[in-house]
């Protein structure tokens, strides 16, 4: 991690306010997963084309995210069963800035990701009136049936392309947690390239050179398979085998 921080200091910084122009709440996501040990060499090659988000003088930020689901895991099962239109419902704490948001993330059948959120005071197991109203406005889910299912904690680096409307988020030091049970997954890096529409970029070019193919992966779904033994996980077995191979 120290190597990564040292390399990121070579990047020009960008602030949260400057990032407003590339918030990309309605976007395409292209995901890559690879061994975390490759991050330093990849980051070395990106510094001339990307700026690094800096918050509280930090360029690697800590995130804590609580995911909600129904008692029978309807949101997880939509992904497991390959449903095209699906939701993730979560509350996120940006640890370094002590900001909290309740978020609804919708993936439609055209491959676009739409994220909407509302600021909250802190993360709670039960959904308060403000969050319940927001949830009812945006989805058909009854807030009373949503329960906290999984904490997903990680470190994130956000890069913003200097030349095009593109953001790259790099998540590492991944940990899944529920009721005192913790499963670390710190051997992998999960990268999302976020664009208005899929187009070429230096990051994508590097992935192609390294023969790292893009693919679908959900931190929430992988975490559920690790924490809940009895859950159905047939569709995730190829991903789990791949992640174990990286390890």
Strand partners, 61: 156
Cα of first residue to Cα of last residue in the chain, in angstroms, is 18
Domain count across the chain: 1
Q: Which domain holds residue 117?
A: 2-246
Would you say residue 24 has pLDDT above 60?
Answer: no
CB neighbourhood size of 183 (10 A) = 14
Strand partners, 100: 93, 120
Residues 66 and 90 sit within 8 Å (Cβ to Cβ): yes
Residues shown for the chain = 247
Instruction: Classify 49 as helix, strand or coil.
Output: coil
CATH number of residue 227's parent domain: 2.40.320.10
Residues 144 and 135 sit within 8 Å (Cβ to Cβ): no
* Integer Cα distance of 163 and 156 in angstroms: 22
Q: How much of the chain exceeds pLDDT 70, in percent?
A: 96
pLDDT in tens, 105-149: 998 887 788 889 999 999 999 998 899 999 999 999 999 999 999
pLDDT in tens, 66-83: 999 999 999 999 999 988
Backbone angles phi, psi at 101, to 5 degrees: -140, 145
* Integer Cα distance of 43 and 21 in angstroms: 23
* Integer Cα distance of 85 and 136 in angstroms: 17
- Alpha-carbon separation of residue 213 from 61, 64, 207, 228 (angstroms): 26, 27, 7, 28
pLDDT in tens, 28-81: 788 999 999 999 999 999 999 999 999 889 999 999 999 999 999 999 999 999
């Amino acid at each position: 991690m120290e190597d990564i921080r040292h390399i990121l200091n070579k990047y020009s910084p960008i602030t949260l306010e400057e990032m407003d122009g590339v918030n990309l709440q309605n976007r395409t996501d292209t995901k890559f997963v690879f061994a975390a040990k490759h991050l330093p060499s990849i980051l070395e090659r990106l510094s001339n084309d990307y700026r690094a988000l800096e918050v509280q003088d930090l360029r690697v930020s800590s995130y804590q995210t609580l995911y909600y689901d129904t008692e029978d895991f309807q949101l997880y099962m939509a992904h497991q069963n390959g449903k095209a239109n699906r939701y993730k419902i979560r509350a996120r704490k940006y640890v370094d800035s002590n900001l909290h948001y309740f978020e609804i993330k919708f993936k439609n059948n055209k491959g676009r990701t739409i994220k909407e959120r509302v600021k909250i005071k802190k993360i709670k197991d039960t959904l308060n009136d403000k969050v319940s109203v927001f949830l009812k406005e945006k989805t058909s889910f009854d807030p009373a049936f949503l329960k906290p299912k999984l904490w997903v904690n990680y470190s994130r680096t956000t890069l913003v392309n200097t030349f095009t409307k593109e953001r790259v988020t790099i998540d590492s030091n991944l940990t899944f947690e529920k009721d005192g049970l913790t499963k670390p997954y710190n051997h992998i890096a999960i990268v999302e390239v976020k664009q208005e529409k899929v187009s070429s970029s230096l990051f994508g070019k590097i992935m192609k050179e390294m023969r790292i193919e893009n693919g679908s992966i959900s931190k929430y779904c992988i975490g559920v398979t690790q924490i809940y033994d009895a859950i159905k996980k047939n569709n995730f077995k190829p991903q789990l085998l791949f992640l174990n191979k990286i390890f």
